[in-house]
Amino acid sequence: MPLQLPPDFATRPTPFYLYDLDLLRRTLRAAQQAAQPRDIHVHYALKANANEPVLALVREHGFGADCVSGNEVQRALEAGFAPEHVVFAGVGKSDAEINRALAADIWCFNVESGEELVVLNELAGAQNRKARVALRLNPNVDARTHHYITTGLSANKFGIGMPELAAVTDLLPALPHVELVGLHVHIGSQITDLAVFETLCHRVNELQLWFEHRGFVLPHLNVGGGLGVNYQQPDEQLIPDFEAYFSIFERLLKRRLGQQVHVELGRSLVAQCGTLVSRVLYLKESQQTRFAILDAGLTELIRPALYQSFHLIENLSSQGPEQLYDVVGPICESSDTFGRQVPLPETKRGDLVVLRTAGAYGEVMASRYNLRDLAPAVYV
């Protein structure tokens, strides 16, 4: 499907983020059509993209909100998510953030340590409330993705490890202001090998037995997010295979009668609908390399610099035989490189160049380094 451009794209100042809301709608519908019949609830991970028009559509499609900061909780509530559909996760929640979420009476806190559980109990008590909690466990399952976005190995800072779990659950009887309502795991992001989720299901089944043997009942299981997207050939797969993903949990999770299953998808819902649009400022040749210097850089899209991640680069202004370019940004860092030896048609100053699949972890991770302006968002 060709990229949907705004009518005035040729004259619009660059760089900007372009969002295709029709594609977003179709993606959300596909996810819901795969999740609902299996009675699986999706909480959208706001960290992937928290723009208001995006959140409005996510909410209209019946998703909840998975938040990792007090400001995300506030943004979700402002966007109209009901407090009973809001979850607050994160390895380092401040007292002020916890207090705001308690006051809003959100549905659940995903708690990552014994110390956090004790603090939450104290703060909830001071507000005369009882906080619902899910314990985030570190299942030690390898997501087989980039090590910066692997979160479920015992070497990672996330979750409660098996050696500490008994000590944490032993605290619960003495904490009257917290109520255990489930368990939570999240092992990483951009997972393209679906067998990883099968392993995760087996592990969650074991963990559930661990709790049951100790007399705990778990009203819900939250298996986190992480479904990957096709960065290499976005047009081949604009909408991820949600059927294949959800059917794994349907088949393999040993769900108890009446138990809810939650997932927290971010990237797979919003990545493909976003594109970073930029212009070529200059061409420059060194002895070995032809550089195309864009007016967008790592301040707009940091993923290539941070994770060596691939975004498909296309020149919308030119056609014809291809040459190889190193496509770079204007920032004073050599890591400000979007791609090396990228085949593009002959490229010249002023050409519009786009970076595809930038809807997730793009705009939200923008910075003002070099005192640059933040790129605006445009919706079609």
Question: Where on the chain is the footprint of ligand LLP (CB under 6 A)?
Answer: 45, 47-48, 66, 89, 149, 151, 186, 189-190, 224-227, 264-268, 303, 307, 361
The burial class, CB within 10 Å (0-12 / 13-18 / 19+), for 129 is middle
* Shortest distance in whole angstroms from residue 274 CB to ligand LLP: 12
362 is in an annotated binding site: no
Are the C-beta atoms of residues 158 and 139 closer than 8 Å to each other?
Answer: no
Rounded CA separation 138/123 (Å): 25
361 is in an annotated binding site: yes
Decide whether 79 or 301 has the Cβ nearer to ligand LLP: 301
Decide whether 27 or 189 has the Cβ nearer to ligand LLP: 189
Rounded CA separation 329/299 (Å): 9
* Shortest distance in whole angstroms from residue 44 CB to ligand LLP: 9
Decide whether 145 or 315 has the Cβ nearer to ligand LLP: 145
38 is in an annotated binding site: no
Identify the CA nearest to 86 among candidates 117, 113, 110.
110
* Shortest distance in whole angstroms from residue 42 CB to ligand LLP: 10
Decide whether 193 or 212 has the Cβ nearer to ligand LLP: 193
144 is in an annotated binding site: no
The burial class, CB within 10 Å (0-12 / 13-18 / 19+), for 4 is middle
* Shortest distance in whole angstroms from residue 348 CB to ligand LLP: 31
Contact partners, residue 209, CB within 8 Å, separation at least 6: none
Decide whether 110 or 169 has the Cβ nearer to ligand LLP: 110
* Shortest distance in whole angstroms from residue 298 CB to ligand LLP: 12
* Shortest distance in whole angstroms from residue 145 CB to ligand LLP: 9
152 is in an annotated binding site: no
92 is in an annotated binding site: no
Task: Provide the b/e sequence for 177-200 (b: ≥16 CB within 10 Å).
Answer: bbebbbbbbbbbbbbeeeebbebb
75 is in an annotated binding site: no
Are the C-beta atoms of residues 332 and 243 closer than 8 Å to each other?
Answer: no
HSE value, Cβ hemisphere, 13 Å, CA-based, for 317: 16
* Shortest distance in whole angstroms from residue 26 CB to ligand LLP: 18
Decide whether 158 or 325 has the Cβ nearer to ligand LLP: 158
333 is in an annotated binding site: yes
24 is in an annotated binding site: no
Q: According to DSSP H, which parts of the chain are helical? A: 21-35, 52-60, 70-78, 95-103, 114-126, 162-171, 195-213, 242-252, 267-270, 303-307
Decide whether 30 or 292 has the Cβ nearer to ligand LLP: 30
Rounded CA separation 251/194 (Å): 13
Contact partners, residue 163, CB within 8 Å, separation at least 6: none
Identify the CA nearest to 269 among candidates 62, 85, 39, 14.
62
Q: Which residues are annotated binding-site positions for pyridoxal 5'-phosphate?
A: 226, 264-267, 361
Binding-site annotation, residues for substrate: 267, 303, 307, 333, 361
Annotated binding site: 226, 264-267, 303, 307, 333, 361
